[in-house]
Structure 1
Amino acid sequence: MSFIYNIGIHIAHFALKCASLFNEKIKKGMVGRQNTFEVLESQLNSNDKTLWFHCASLGEYEQGLPVFKKLREHYKQHKIVLSFFSPSGYEIRKNSPIADIVIYLPLDSKKHAKRFINLVNPELTIFVKYDIWPNFLNELKRRKLRAILISAAFRKNQSYFKFYGGELRRALFTFEHIFTQNEASKTLLQSIHYNKVTVSGDTRFDRVSSQLGLNNYLSFIETFKDDKLCVVAGSTWPEDENLLINYINATDHKNVKFIIAPHNIKTAQINNIQEKLHVKSVLYSKKNDEQLINAQVFIIDTIGILSKVYSYANIAYVGGAMGHTGLHNTLEPAVFAIPIIIGSNHEKFPEAKAMIDINGMFSASNQKEFDSILNELIQNKEKCLSSGKKNGDYIAKNKGAVIQIIDYLRI
């Protein structure tokens, strides 16, 4: 099985190389991986003490960040190497203050694994959620170097729990401990006789809770909102934006302001949104006070401020589940105790199910349902406030994963 896996890695490398000719995102990853060893060799020496954090992409980085911060505080003399597999994580967090070195993780060949661990030689390795790479993990285990997996979430249809998943299953046993998000994941691990597991919960609850302690003030949002009810739509895709545009164009809510923060901020997509709207809109990149006051829709054509923008929302819509791209982070708005609307494709997101069950979140599968839900939340202030409070309470109840992980590491 190991032979088949390693052949598969070489095939994947060839496939990615071909795909990079036509896809800019894949090309960035390929080019970045070519530079990884050069970066490590230039910035590390044999006397350095190191920690290694690995995340598949941006979401896993945000999930691991509260743990990374605690380790950064404790291991002040260590160099921290942060690796990503996806360009969407690397490009946005390549200047992360919690790391000394940020790199792309090379493809998981035995040759790459040996060279990488020779250079990094981490005292402790943290993998977040998934992105399990057997050759890297086996090399850590062979050298008796510590590795843990945090915020892990497993499903019974994954390869680890199938007859053909031996190589990936063995990789799980290289971790000295696994911290899972839920009991179901622990039960699945125990079904393959992995027992060094703790249900700590999801570190994202700690991550979003920390936002409450930050300064979330944004003067331009204050100017735009002007004490009116505000609906914030975050991480939207075209199918989400069509719902919002149709609603805004068809209703006469002059006392409601709308903020749209698209996932894709390319000029063509932003222009498309503005052109379809029948009301005044303003772009973040072209804002001034007069435009902000007179506009009903504010389009955020930049990245990095959505968490703060949510603090101004009375109602949130989170994109990704109206289509099949994957629901974006619903915990970010939930921490501000506001009701949330999402699309109907949310089966793989347990936090969405939990908030739907407590009536803090509402799922719409079409325009009619979306309009009905949003109208009720706008018109029924009591329901809006009570639904939001349920989400805020849900976040507060589920934080604490970081404490358990740090206690285990005895720091």
Structure 2
Amino acid sequence: MYLLYDLAVLISWNILKLIALFNPGIRKFVVGRKNTLPYLQRMRDPQKPLIWMHTASLGEFEQGAPVLEKLCAAYPEYQFLITFFSPSGYEIKKDKLNPHLVTYLPMDGSRNCAKFLSIVRPEVALFVKYEVWPGMYRQMARQKIPILLISAIFRKRQAYFKWYGGLLRGALRRVTHFYVQDTRSEKRLKSLGINAVTVSGDTRFDRVLEISSNAKPLAFMKTFKGKRSCFVAGSSWPVDHRMIAPYINQAAEGQCFVLAPHKIDLKTIEHLEQLIEKKTIRYSDMNQGDLEDACVLILDTIGLLSRTYPYAEIAYVGGGFGTGLHNTLEPAVYGLPILIGPGYHGFLEAEQLVRAGGIRVVQNTGDFEAEVSALFKAPELRSDIGKINEAYIQEKKGASDAILKGVQSLLG
């Protein structure tokens, strides 16, 4: 089976190299992996033990970050390696995690994995959420390197629970211990005969609490908001914009809007501006005078969304109309009422907060206008809904501490 898997990995790699000639994103994926082993040979300090954390992309890194920070504090004598699967995560974080080692995960063939591990020699490895790699797990098991899968969540539709998922089930059985988000995931693992499972919760709760407690004020947001009531739409898509724009166009004088599109390419920004009749300003073009006069601020940048939520009275989180719901925890931690589209099933925290009443679901433009109008007119209602979300975050914190204890039990 592994011979066929290695062959499939090799074929995929050669196809990707061809695509890279024409696709800049894939080119980064390929060139970055060519540099992985030389980079590690230069930077790996053989005198220090090493802890390795692997994440798929930026979102999963944020999920693992609170665990990483606790491990750094507990093991200052260790070297730390953070690997990414996708260029989007790597490119953003490669220069921001000093003194840690940051690189790509190699392709999952047996030879690549063996070379990688011979250089890295980790004492323990933490893989975040969905990151299960049969080739790497097999090589790690051979070398008796402990594998922890953290903030993991398992669903019936995943290949592990299908007749064709034998290779992936075998990889799961090589994991030393699972730290899962919910009891359903625990039960599904146990149905496979896997019992080394702790229901620790989701480390994203720790992350949003940490970000909110350390967030620095944004002077431009204070100027933009002034004495107005503010609505923030985060990670929004064109379908969201078409629903939101009609409300903005007839909004009352004392209301302002921040829109943070998921994609910030010029075409997306220009299309958004065409939908809005009120005065808009882009973050990239702003100055203090323009901010006070504008009704809509478009964040055509990355990294500021979570810091704008404290200035909002109402939040909308995009992706619920088909692309995949984005992070509802970022506004929830600030005690905001949250609106989302109907596609929230499979997102555990959204499901729970919809049932609790902290998140409201809108199906169309009419729903959206009715909900936003009611919330802007009723400060007490906003407060009551927001308290549900804030309490939910507080109740779910602590997953990082549970995982830290698990690592400490392995390392001594």
How would you bin the TM-score normalised by the shorter chain?
A: over 0.9
Query: Residue 315 of structure 1 aligns with which residue?
Result: 314
| Aligned residue type for 1:88 | S
* Contact persistence 1:180–1:198 (CA under 8 A): yes
Query: Residue 273 of structure 2 aligns with which residue?
Result: 274
Distance 1:394 1:19 in 2: 45
Distance 2:188 2:82 in 1: 29
Query: Residue 305 of structure 1 aligns with which residue?
Result: 304
Distance 1:340 1:25 in 2: 33
Query: Residue 283 of structure 1 aligns with which residue?
Result: 282
* 1:218-297 equivalent positions in 2, closer than 5 A: 218-249=218-249, 251-297=250-296
Query: Residue 71 of structure 1 aligns with which residue?
Result: 71
Residue 205 to residue 98, structure 1, CA distance change in 2 (3 Å): farther
Q: Give a deviation string over 1:201-239, Cα, whole Å, max 9, x none.
A: 000011111123214311110000012111001111111
Query: Residue 363 of structure 2 aligns with which residue?
Result: 365
Distance 2:309 2:161 in 1: 39
Query: Residue 391 of structure 2 aligns with which residue?
Result: 393
Distance 2:50 2:401 in 1: 22
Give the CA deviation at 1:131. Answer: 1.8
Q: Give a deviation string over 1:14-34, Cα, whole Å, max 9, x none.
A: 343344344332222122111
Query: Residue 351 of structure 2 aligns with which residue?
Result: 353
Query: Residue 109 of structure 1 aligns with which residue?
Result: 109
Give the CA deviation at 1:163. Answer: 2.1
Give the CA deviation at 1:156. Answer: 1.4
* Contact persistence 1:318–1:342 (CA under 8 A): yes
SS of the residue 1:60 aligns to:
helix
Unaligned runs of 5+ in 2: none
Give the CA deviation at 1:386. Answer: 0.8
* Contact persistence 2:45–2:79 (CA under 8 A): no
* Contact persistence 1:80–1:98 (CA under 8 A): no
| Aligned residue type for 2:192 | I
Give the CA deviation at 1:98. Answer: 6.3
Distance 1:124 1:131 in 2: 15
Residue 399 to residue 23, structure 1, CA distance change in 2 (3 Å): same
Q: Give a deviation string over 1:106-134, Cα, whole Å, max 9, x none.
A: 11000110000001011111100012111
Query: Residue 39 of structure 1 aligns with which residue?
Result: 39
Give the CA deviation at 1:74. Answer: 1.7
Give the CA deviation at 1:4. Answer: 3.2
SS of the residue 1:254 aligns to:
coil
Distance 1:270 1:18 in 2: 32
* Contact persistence 1:82–1:99 (CA under 8 A): no
Give the CA deviation at 1:325. Answer: 2.1
Distance 1:383 1:390 in 2: 11
Unaligned runs of 5+ in 1: none
Match of 2:381 among 371, 383, 387: 383
Distance 2:7 2:165 in 1: 15
Give the CA deviation at 1:272. Answer: 2.3
Residue 260 to residue 60, structure 1, CA distance change in 2 (3 Å): same
SS of the residue 1:17 aligns to:
helix
Distance 1:390 1:70 in 2: 28
Give the CA deviation at 1:380. Answer: 2.4
| Aligned residue type for 1:71 | L
Query: Residue 172 of structure 2 aligns with which residue?
Result: 172
SS of the residue 1:311 aligns to:
helix
Deviates more, 1:290-299 or 1:371-380: 371-380
Q: Give a deviation string over 1:336-362, Cα, whole Å, max 9, x none.
A: 000111111111211111111011111
* 1:146-225 equivalent positions in 2, closer than 5 A: 146-225=146-225
Give the CA deviation at 1:292. Answer: 0.7
Percent identity between matched residues is 42
Give the CA deviation at 1:2. Answer: 2.5
Query: Residue 406 of structure 1 aligns with which residue?
Result: 404
Distance 1:299 1:146 in 2: 45
Residue 219 to residue 289, structure 1, CA distance change in 2 (3 Å): same
Query: Residue 130 of structure 1 aligns with which residue?
Result: 130
Q: Let me know the Cα RMSD of the aligned residues.
A: 1.5
Give the CA deviation at 1:373. Answer: 1.7
Distance 1:364 1:11 in 2: 45
Aligned length: 409
